[in-house]
């Protein structure tokens, strides 16, 4: 244990990377799954250890790759915030794995199953790399590692539209990543550094004539990252990508990919620019308010009118991203705590919802809302987890969703922006409409002929769903761990501000 501890910051990236290589090497679906299972759980254990260590030390843990000194070499820099996001990504990725075996075997051809697990692990590698690295260009490389594997994951969907969705995401995602590189390039021209902490320090002392390229860089970075996190109106790629990807891929992407992009946005806004030139010099919060509220309402309305259940949840994800960016725009302790804790809460709830739909697809092969008729009686456990997580999305007290919205509302009140509280509550009512539609169809309609023989999926698929549904309740009642860590993360972000 003593020998491993100094290498903790790099291990969460290495374990899925080696797992991906081994599962590609074995080429058989079953052995690839076993490799992925071991790799994800190992990575989850290591990430949680890393988070515990970051919480205990209270200082950023620095790790220099290849022993090259900062700022010349690549540095992995882990504080409470990215330790938290890393633990979130790996834990969700690990919990999905037992579920994945039956679902993947059902949805994906035998000879490409190993590639599916390879891409899954590569995507995880990329997401963890973005999270843990402290080097701006390294972020880009990992961004592309995760994006390229995501395109492949989406293209493995059964419907021919899956390939089209993957292509559209490839175009948008590459534009986003290129915007990010342009932003980094401009920052590099001004500061001569690629280390995020070093950039921040050098921005603070940059001569005033560099103000314009710095603001331009901020604009490029914001748009590039917002394309990745699907902030309204840059969200058009997301509904199709989530709707046509294989169920397991949708669960993983919905729970983790956008969260990591949000983390990146937080890192740039607060640690790089906020600490360097101060947020006041940039009109970003005003824009974020407008787009967040637009996302909360317009995407929720789209969800309410959507007939494909997976697409409905995808629109709901865009609305939930709106809550998270709302907290970023508030930029005070309560608002940021709400945002960060919503990363966790939304990941748990959306993973549960998409897993429940994946179970429906496993039994019925379709996920139109009308096809769910009568499933409340035919697949009782599956639909029960759906309802629990759905209540969380609405924000009913006692579920995790309520906790995040509570802190967001507190943040809005602290700023004296009480209309925002009204907006949060009323957009939750729209969530009640679209979740309510599914519940109505599932519990109060007679099952269709196809659904008559349906029953709950095997225990390997049920257990992860039940676990996450229980977590939805748990984090709604006992908030010491989730809100505690989120508050620490918010403190780290705000403490560095100029």
Q: Which residues bind other proteins (CB under 8 A)?
A: 3, 7, 10, 14, 17-18, 20-22, 24-25, 27, 63-67, 118, 137, 140-141, 144, 148, 151-152, 155, 160-161, 163-167, 170-171, 174-175, 178, 181-182, 185, 188-189, 194, 240
Task: Give dist(CA 128, CA 444) in Å, integer.
Answer: 43
Residue with tokens 């919503």: 342
Of 4 and 477, CB closest to other proteins: 4
Nearer to other proteins (CB atom), residue 13 or residue 96: 13
> From the CB of 174, what's the least distance to other proteins, in Å?
5
Residue with smaller CB distance to other proteins, 181 or 266 = 181
CA distance 359 to 98: 13
Query: Least distance to other proteins from the beta carbon of 396, Å?
Result: 33
Q: How far is the CB of 320 from other proteins (least distance, A)?
A: 22
Residues 50, 82 contacting (CB under 8 angstroms)? no
In whole angstroms, what is the distance from residue 396 CA to residue 405 CA? 10
CA dist list (Å): 276 to 22, 59, 191, 271, 302: 42, 19, 11, 8, 39
271, 493 Cβ separation under 8 angstroms? yes
Q: How far is the CB of 333 from other proteins (least distance, A)?
A: 35
**Minimum gap (Å) between residue 12 Cβ and other proteins:** 12
Choose among 243, 16, 346, 35: nearest CA to 149: 16
Among residues 26 and 474, whose Cβ is nearest to other proteins?
26
Closest to other proteins by CB, 152 or 486: 152
Peptide bond preceding 413 in cis form (omega within 30 of 0): no
β partners of residue 62: 77
Task: Quote the CA–CA distance of 296 and 377 in Å, as a whole number.
Answer: 32
> Which residue number, 187 or 328, has a Cβ lying nearer to other proteins?
187
Smallest separation (angstroms) from other proteins to the CB of 434: 19
How near is the Cβ of 239 to other proteins at its closest, in Å? 9
Closest CB to other proteins among 30 and 425?
Answer: 30
Residue 76 or 232: the one with the smaller Cβ distance to other proteins is 76
Q: Can you tell me which residue has the tokens 């970075």?
A: 221
CB atoms inside a 10 Å sphere around CB 416? 7
- Closest alpha carbon to 265 in 339, 347, 170, 374: 339
Is residue 408 within 8 A of residue 326, CB to CB? The reply is yes
- What's the closest the beta carbon of residue 393 comes to other proteins, in angstroms? 24
Q: What's the min distance (Å) between Cβ of 178 and other proteins?
A: 6
User: Tokens for 88?
Assistant: 């979130």
State which residue, 10 or 81, has the beta carbon closest to other proteins: 10
Question: Among residues 76 and 323, whose Cβ is nearest to other proteins?
Answer: 76
* Inter-residue contact 488 to 83 (CB < 8 Å): no
Give me the helix-helix angle, 400-414 and 459-477, nearest 10°.
30
Closest CA to 231 of 163, 279, 299, 179: 299
CB of 332 to other proteins, least distance (A): 36
3-state secondary structure of 227: helix
Using alpha carbons, list the distances in angstroms from residue 35 to 16, 45, 77, 114, 381: 9, 15, 28, 10, 29
Helices (H), 192-210: 196-204
Closest CA to 199 of 178, 184, 212, 209: 184
Could you tell me the smallest distance in angstroms from the CB atom of residue 436 to other proteins? 26
Q: Which is nearer to other proteins, 140 or 263 (CB)?
A: 140
- What whole-number distance in Å separates Cα of residue 140 and Cα of residue 301? 34
């Amino acid at each position: 244990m003593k020998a491993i501890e100094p290498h903790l910051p790099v291990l969460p990236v290495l374990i899925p990377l080696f797992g991906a290589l081994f599962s590609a090497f074995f080429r058989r679906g079953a052995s690839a799954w076993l490799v992925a299972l071991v790799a994800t759980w190992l990575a989850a254990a290591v990430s949680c250890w890393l988070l515990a260590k970051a919480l205990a030390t209270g200082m950023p843990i620095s790790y220099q790759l290849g022993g090259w000194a900062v700022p010349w070499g690549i540095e992995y820099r882990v504080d409470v915030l990215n330790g938290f996001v890393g633990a979130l990504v790996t834990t969700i990725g690990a919990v999905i794995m037992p579920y994945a075996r039956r679902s993947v075997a059902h949805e994906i051809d035998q000879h490409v199953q190993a590639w599916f697990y390879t891409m899954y692990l590569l995507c995880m590698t990329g997401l963890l790399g973005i999270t843990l690295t402290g080097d701006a260009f390294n972020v880009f490389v990992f961004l592309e590692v995760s994006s390229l594997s995501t395109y492949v994951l989406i293209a493995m969907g059964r419907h021919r539209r899956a390939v089209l969705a993957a292509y559209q995401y490839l175009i948008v995602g590459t534009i986003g990543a290129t915007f990010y590189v342009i932003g980094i390039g401009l920052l590099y021209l001004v500061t001569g550094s690629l280390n995020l902490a070093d950039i921040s320090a050098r921005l603070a002392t940059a001569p005033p004539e560099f103000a314009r390229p710095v603001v331009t860089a901020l604009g490029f970075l914001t748009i590039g990252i917002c394309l990745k996190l699907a902030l309204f109106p840059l969200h058009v790629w997301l509904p199709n990508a989530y709707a046509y990807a294989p169920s397991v891929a949708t669960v993983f992407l919905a729970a983790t990919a956008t969260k990591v992009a949000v983390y990146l946005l937080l890192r740039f806004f607060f640690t790089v620019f906020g600490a360097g030139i101060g947020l006041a010099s940039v009109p970003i919060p005003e824009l974020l308010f407008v787009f967040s509220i637009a996302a909360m309402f317009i995407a929720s309305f789209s969800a309410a009118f959507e007939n494909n259940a997976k697409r409905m949840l995808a629109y709901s994800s865009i609305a939930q991203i709106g809550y998270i960016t709302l907290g970023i725009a508030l930029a005070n302790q309560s608002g940021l705590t709400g945002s960060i804790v919503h990363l966790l809460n939304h990941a748990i709830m959306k993973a549960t919802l998409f897993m429940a739909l994946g179970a429906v697809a496993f039994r019925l092969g379709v996920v139109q809302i009308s096809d769910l008729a009568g499933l409340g009686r035919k697949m009782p456990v599956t639909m029960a987890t759906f309802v629990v997580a759905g209540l969380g999305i609405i924000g009913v007290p006692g579920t995790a969703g309520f906790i995040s919205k509570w802190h967001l509302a507190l943040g809005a009140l602290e700023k004296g922006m009480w209309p925002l509280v009204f907006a949060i509550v009323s957009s939750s009512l729209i969530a009640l409409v679209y979740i309510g539609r599914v519940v109505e169809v599932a519990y109060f309609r007679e099952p269709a002929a196809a659904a008559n023989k349906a029953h709950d999926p095997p225990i390997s698929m049920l257990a992860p769903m039940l676990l996450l549904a229980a977590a939805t309740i748990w984090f709604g009642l006992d908030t010491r761990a989730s809100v505690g860590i989120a508050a620490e993360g918010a403190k780290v972000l705000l403490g560095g501000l100029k």
